[in-house]
Amino acid sequence: MATLHHHAFCPHSRFVRLVLGEFDIAPELVEVRPWERRQEFLMLNPAGDTPVLAADGALHPDSDAEGAAPANAQPLVLSGAAVINEYVDELLGARQPDRRLLPGGIAARAEARRLTAWFNEKFFAEVTTYLCTEKIYKRFMATELGGGPPDMNGVRAARANVRYHLRYIGFLLRDAPFLAGARLTSADLAAAAHLSCVDYLGDVPWSEDEAAAAWYGRIKSRPSFRTLLQDLVPGMAPATTYARLNV
């Protein structure tokens, strides 16, 4: 079985869980607190961040069409959401082309990659890194590692930036049901993964854009999303919209 080293409210980890879920892969989950920089995790990923996938079983590069890896094969260790997403889509998409998360045309694939990076990089830098760090991670970090009360200046800036991104999502949905066109792609999963963290905290102004809210409700209704909605922060109840399929 594949093993995913993750943090439940790391949006990049959530993205990878959605990617795996779209291919009906349920990995063993090992929770990591990246700020602790534990030696055993750094041995897997010297960068020290999540997610990290130990690809075994059906995800092993030498597995057969039935998903069986060779006896005594060592798992392939993959680090980073972009690398894991491309690896899984290339390996499993070849066996299940109807589930591929990248479109067929070269231009369409480029657009899906651009938007996936938009959310995993730009949205993360402007929104989720602040909200998740300040409102979730710092609750569990030792003071010497940066724990303590949230920096409300960062929280306020992130909340303002969410509105801009919601309007952009609405713009992308003007002529298509999904962010990169007519079908679900990794761009939809990346955007939804980041928004799910913000939604838990109650910081998504869903009234800002009706199209964005309706799209998120459809993505959140997919089977791959179910395990994410079961994640809870100890001592912090989710916003009322978190588990509702219509936001």
Report residue 67's pLDDT band, with 50, 70 and 90 as the boundaries. confident
**Can you read off the two tokens belonging to residue 196?**
């799910």
Q: Is 69 exposed, middle or buried (0-12, 13-18, 19+ CB in 10 A)?
A: buried
Give mean pLDDT, residues 179-198.
98
Q: Is 102 exposed, middle or buried (0-12, 13-18, 19+ CB in 10 A)?
A: buried
pLDDT of residue 210: 96
Kindly write down the DSSP assignment for every residue of the chain, as one continuous string.
--EEEE-TT-HHHHHHHHHHHHTT--PEEEE--GGG--HHHHHH-TT--S-EEEE-GGGSTT--TTSPPPTTPPPEEEESHHHHHHHHHHHHHHH-GGG-SS-SSHHHHHHHHHHHHIIIIIIIIIIIHHHHIIIIIHHHS-GGGT-SS--HHHHHHHHHHHHHHHHHHHHHTSSSSBTTBSS--HHHHHHHHHHHHHHHTT---GGG-HHHHHHHHHHHTSGGGHHHHT--BTTBPPPTTSS-S--
**Could you report the per-residue pLDDT of 85-142, keeping only the tens digit for each?**
999 999 999 899 999 999 989 999 999 999 999 999 999 999 999 999 999 999 999 9
pLDDT of residue 149: 93
**Can you read off the two tokens belonging to residue 114?**
């651009």
pLDDT of residue 179: 98
pLDDT of residue 247: 65
Mean pLDDT across the chain: 95
Give mean pLDDT, residues 216-231.
96
From-to residues of CATH 3.40.30.10 in the chain: 3-99
Q: Is 186 exposed, middle or buried (0-12, 13-18, 19+ CB in 10 A)?
A: buried
29, pLDDT greater than 90: yes
pLDDT of residue 246: 72
pLDDT of residue 49: 97
**Can you read off the two tokens belonging to residue 199?**
């939604």
User: pTM of the entire structure?
Assistant: 0.96
43, pLDDT greater than 80: yes
- If one looks up domain 3-99 in CATH, what number appears? 3.40.30.10
**Could you report the per-residue pLDDT of 141-183, keeping only the tens digit for each?**
999 989 999 999 999 999 999 999 999 999 999 999 999 999 9
- When the candidates are 3.90.1150.10, 3.30.365.10, 3.90.1300.10, 1.20.1050.10, the CATH number that belongs to 106-229 is 1.20.1050.10
Residue in 155, 185, 132 with CA at minimum distance from that of residue 11: 132
From-to residues of CATH 1.20.1050.10 in the chain: 106-229
Q: Which has more confidence, 73 or 184? A: 184
